[in-house]
């Protein structure tokens, strides 16, 4: 059995399906004609991506300006460059994927699981390379504080992101919000890296990175809860 034979079988089977009735199409055309105002198309993907990145950078910088740039000041210049460059690259990837999920029919390059796991893995490698202090003093208390700060800074980033993408339409809201939550979580991590002076590897690897999956999960959960009434009445 060759592939053309399968194609032929599928084609012949599909050929039997009835077509759409002209009366149905005429009815749809009439219904749409009643409310046919001009609309402004959504901005290009690159512009939305830039706006998202600027919003996230502004939130992280504003948070650190208020709390202090102690964390980044305590790092060696080369470590600062590597850290900020990696965070910026990750933010670009996450912002692009986030925009793609908010515009129907856009090209998605990475699946949600790959996006989330890949981001966490890259951050793990980065922090393992940059932070070599393996003590874990006040591991839980200090960690929970950082997790809280990271999530709190992710909230304004997520709200600004929603404002930037308000004219989009997510066909899969939970998946789109997961990507948005991951980007907001990365903003929280960026704030922590600028501010936090705890350079212990376990602290960075567990509590700082945890901000990203926690925010992604919160984003997906909120989208699921928000769209639940609409699903129930659809």
The binding track of 85-114 with respect to other proteins, each residue x by CB under 8 A or -, is ---------------xx-xxxxxxxxx---
Q: Which is nearer to other proteins, 12 or 132 (CB)?
A: 12
170-183 as b/e, with b when 16 or more CB fall inside 10 Å?
beebbbbbbbbbbb
Q: Which is nearer to other proteins, 80 or 167 (CB)?
A: 167
Measured distance CA(103)–CA(184) in Å, rounded: 18
109-116 CB contacts, 8 Å cutoff, 24+ apart: 112/175, 112/178, 112/179, 115/179, 115/182, 116/178, 116/182, 116/212, 116/213, 116/216
The binding track of 35-64 with respect to other proteins, each residue x by CB under 8 A or -, is xxxxxxxx-xx-------------------
The minimum distance between CB 118 and other proteins, in angstroms, equals 13
The minimum distance between CB 210 and other proteins, in angstroms, equals 27
228 binds other proteins (CB under 8 A): no
Q: Which residues contact other proteins (rule: CB under 8 A)?
A: 1, 3, 5-22, 24-33, 35-42, 44-45, 100-101, 103-111, 167-169, 171-172, 175, 231-232, 234
């Amino acid at each position: 059995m060759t592939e053309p034979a399968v194609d032929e079988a599928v084609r012949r089977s599909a050929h039997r399906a009835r077509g759409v009735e002209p009366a149905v199409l005429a009815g749809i055309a009439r219904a749409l004609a009643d409310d046919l105002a001009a609309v402004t198309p959504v901005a290009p993907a690159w512009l939305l991506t830039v706006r998202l990145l600027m919003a996230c950078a502004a939130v992280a910088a504003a948070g650190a300006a208020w709390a202090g740039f102690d964390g980044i000041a305590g790092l060696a210049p080369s470590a600062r460059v590597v850290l900020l460059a990696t965070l910026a690259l990750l933010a670009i990837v996450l912002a692009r994927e986030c925009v793609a999920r908010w515009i129907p029919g856009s090209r998605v390059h990475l699946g949600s699981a790959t996006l989330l796991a890949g981001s966490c893995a890259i951050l793990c490698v980065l922090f393992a390379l940059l932070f070599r202090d393996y003590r874990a003093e006040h591991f839980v208390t200090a960690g929970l504080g950082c997790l809280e700060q990271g999530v709190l800074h992710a909230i304004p980033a997520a709200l600004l992101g929603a404002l930037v993408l308000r004219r989009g339409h997510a066909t899969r809201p939970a998946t789109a919000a997961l990507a948005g939550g991951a980007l907001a979580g990365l903003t929280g991590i960026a704030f922590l890296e600028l501010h936090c002076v705890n350079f212990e590897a376990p602290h960075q690897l567990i509590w700082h990175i945890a901000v990203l999956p926690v925010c992604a999960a919160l984003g997906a959960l909120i989208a699921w809860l928000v769209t639940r009434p609409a699903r129930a009445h659809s």
